[in-house]
Amino acid sequence: MANKVTVLGSLNVDTTLRIARMPQPGETLSTENKSSAAGGKGANQAVAAARAGAETSFIGKVGNDDAGRFMVESLDNDHIDTHAIITDPVVGTGSAFILLDEAGQNSILVYGGSNQQIKAEEVIAREDEIANADFLITQFETPQAATLAAFKVAKQHGVTTILNPAPAAEIDPEILKVTDLVIPNETESAELTGIEVTDEASMDANAKKFREMGVKNLIITVGSKGAYYATEQESGFVPAFKVKAVDTTAAGDTFIGALSSQLKPDLSNVATALVFAQRASSLTVQGLGAMPSIPTVEQIEAASKK
């Protein structure tokens, strides 16, 4: 049985500008290439979940514009249920501008647009999408009031809630009380707990702090090193696969989406699900662009056999 995953999140059209190096303040550089693709943390995570085999649906908001129609179509192409996506009649679709240098590092500027307009009551009205899921995933590219409302609905229906607190922001403590699993990177984790992530002991300290704040389960992604996990039953570190990164955009989103496709709602198989998620994100960083480089379950399984 495929996992059922609902994502509440952002829909952005990403424009990637390829440059030799990052510009200095006041400096003008020419770009080597410019490309546009569907993106946004929410959309990326939903596509990663769907391509990894999960039955996926999406709750979000787009503008009444070509970019919005393009985003909905992009999700439809990956067989994601899009009927809970709302069209905002006034505010345009979100967008992001990605500066990508020759070393594969990126800097991203995001315009929230209609993503920021989604209201708590609109989310509550989509109770069926949440109630029918095994997992509800959200990030911080949509308002926290909408997240809190969605997670409360999820908890009423026994749905496992996953919070990706990215981009890092001050968080409503009420959200953490209805979060089953939090998945920050090391910077975001340190920002939320006040404990710098340097080694496994500091990760254990982060897990303890999150438990005090109301979240029993934690996964910290540590870039090319791997991922730390701490559940009520166990904790450990799963190393990343060694690959040559071309573009790290959407690596974290792929990880979360792929993880949700394999994880059991009680998180009892977290270590094996993490290996699958690491394999998926190792494939993403070897391709250009966010969504185009997110792998399918066939590609992930083929890479696992090598």
66 is catalytic: no
The answer to whether 206 is a known ligand-binding residue is: no
Q: Tell me whether residue 185 is annotated as binding.
A: yes
Q: Is 296 annotated as a binding residue?
A: no
Is 43 annotated as a binding-site member?
Answer: yes
Q: Counting Cβ atoms within 10 Å, is residue 56 exposed (0-12), middle (13-18) or buried (19+)?
A: buried
> How many degrees, rounded to 5, is the angle at CA 280 between CA 278 and CA 281?
65
Closest CA to 220 of 248, 198, 241, 243: 198
Residue 214 counted as an annotated binding residue: no
287 annotated ligand-binding residue: yes
Q: Answer yes or no: is 254 a known binding residue.
A: no
253 annotated as a binding-site residue: yes
R_g (Cα) of the chain, nearest Å: 18
| Cβ-based neighbours of 273, under 8 Å, separated by 6 or more | 259, 262, 263, 264
Has 60 been labeled as part of a binding site? no
Q: Is 141 annotated as belonging to a binding site?
A: yes
Q: Which of 78, 81, 134, 253 is catalytic?
A: 253
Helical segments of 52-111, H only? 66-77
- Give the residue among 16, 12, 2 at the shortest CA–CA distance from 45: 12
**Which amino acid appears at position 186 of this protein?**
E
Sign of CA dihedral 29, 290, 147, 234: negative
Q: Is 44 labelled a binding residue?
A: yes
Distance CA 241, CA 225 (A): 8
66 assigned to a ligand binding site:
no
Sign of CA dihedral 109, 113, 114, 117: positive
Distance CA 284, CA 266 (A): 27
284 is in an annotated binding site: yes
Summarize the annotated binding site for ATP as residue ranges: 185, 221-226, 252-253
- Give the residue numbers marked as catalytic: 253
Summarize the annotated binding site for substrate as residue ranges: 12-14, 40-44, 141, 253
Summarize the annotated binding site for K(+) as residue ranges: 247, 249, 284, 287, 289, 293
Summarize the annotated binding site as residue ranges: 12-14, 40-44, 141, 185, 221-226, 247, 249, 252-253, 284, 287, 289, 293
